[in-house]
Every structure is written in structure tokens, then in C-alpha cells.
Amino acid sequence: MTTKMMNRIETKFDDLKRRSRKGFVPYITAGDPSLEATGQIIIELERNGADIIELGVPFSDPMADGPVIQRASERALANRVSVRDCLEVVRQIRQRSEVPIVLFSYLNPLLSLGLPRLGDALRSAGVDGVLATDLVPEEAGEFHRVVRSAGIDLIFLVAPTSTDERIKLVSEASSGFVYAVSRTGVTGVQQSLSEAAASLVERVKRFTDLPVAVGFGVSTPEQVAEVWQHADAAVVGSRIVAEIENSAGDPALVEKVGALTSWLVSSQ
């Protein structure tokens, strides 16, 4: 009989549950403002309360992202950052930290590694999960097999507009956690969270025991706390990426991102 090995994502959520805590998942774009800074920021995020890191792979057509993250992708691409550079960042982080890292990407950059070699490339770098925003379960068969056979979690999105049938399909295809989008549309800061987010989490939990993380538009400690009332983790992207954009060139960039992170999780 074989024993299932827990990866870092599952271990992290189990630890949070034991401590009656909720997770905080910041998103940053690799290579913005530089690859060196990305590595430093990841360590600072963990030090200030991040439980899982979403590391964005820069892409020329980020259709799910709003202007803040689009600009981050443009800056990283101007730095000629590739998916292989992203994996190298993770590999270097693994010399210093065991923080779970989810590669947040679109499908094309991942396929550029070659699908047969993708699982091994992710595993050897130390990646724990993949979220390909334009990949749907119906078309994920071979991709799912390659990634999961390497022990990498594959995370899918559900939205307030998802039917129960769709939520069931996504939940069954996902591992690690399910990413619940708080609203329809693209990423970006918003003044208040949609009431649909809480309802969506409740619907997802009818079909899976996996943790549910809520993102898109979460940008203040109050909104993080609101997400924590019904979900297992809150994802913050645009607010953190905007801080990186505004502080680019500032010697205190890394410390400012750390301070923002500490503020965002201050309600727990």
C-alpha cells in the first residue's frame, strides 16, 4: 500500500486549521521590478504573514488581469523575464524557505517548457501548485495528468456565475485548494466585496472538502477579514503589485511591501 505524501500547500492548510487560523495569499509578478527583488519580496512576504505565495508568470495577453497587473507583466517582459526565470526564482527561494508557491500563469508560457517535461521542471524547481487562468477542466486532461503525476497541485477558478454543475466539475478537477473569484470581471482593487463571494464559497463547500481561497478585489484588512469569515484564505494581488509599482526605485521597496502585508493581515 502506498502512502500519499502531503505537499506544502496541503501541509500549510492543515497547520492553519489546527491553529484555528485563516490563510493569506499574496500575488506578485515575477521580475517586477527585477528578478532579484522578486526573491527578496517573497521572503519578506512570508516574514510578514504570507502563508502561500502566488507567483505570476509575465504574459503578453493577461486577459484575466486588470491594469495594475497588466502593467506589472509589461515591466517584467521588458526585463525579458521568461517562465524559466520564474522557476529559477523558486529554485533559489527553496534554499531559504519552504513557503508554498503557486505558479499563477496562462497556459502558453507553461507549454513553452514542453508538456512532457513540465511536471519534472515544476517539481525540480520547488513549485507546489499551478493555476493556469485560461485552462478549463474540460480541456485539461493531459495537462492535469502531467502536473498531478509530478505531485504538483492544479488549481482551478470558480466564479459567482458558475452553475452548481460547473462548481462540481471544477472542485473534482482541483487539488490544493479551489480559487473562488469574488466577482465577474478582471483583477483589481475595489471598494467593497460582492455579497456573491460568501454565497459562492458556501456553494463550493457543498462539493469538496478542499480549502477555498477568495481573490479578485481584496485590498484592505477589513476585506481580508470579511473573506476570512467564510473562506479558508484571502488572496491579495493588485494592492500589493500597486505598492511595488509605486515604490519601484525606492531602496525601501522590500520593507514597504512587508509593512503593507503586515497591515493587511492585522485583523487576525
Q: Given the residues 32, 54, 153, 243, select the one marked as catalytic.
A: 54
Active site residue 65: yes
Q: What share of the chain is helix, strand, coil (3-state, %, to 5)?
A: 45, 15, 40
DSSP structural state of residue 138: G
Q: Decide if 176 contacts 129 (C-beta within 8 A).
A: yes
* DSSP class per residue in 231-266: SSEEEE-HHHHHHHHHTTT-TTHHHHHHHHHHHHTT
Q: Decide if 8 contacts 98 (C-beta within 8 A).
A: yes
Active site residue 226: no
DSSP structural state of residue 113: T
Q: Given the residues 65, 128, 226, 243, select the one marked as catalytic.
A: 65
C-alpha cell at 197: 463571494
Q: Decide if 120 contacts 147 (C-beta within 8 A).
A: no
Q: How many CB atoms lie within 10 A of CB 131?
A: 22
Residues marked active site are found at 54, 65
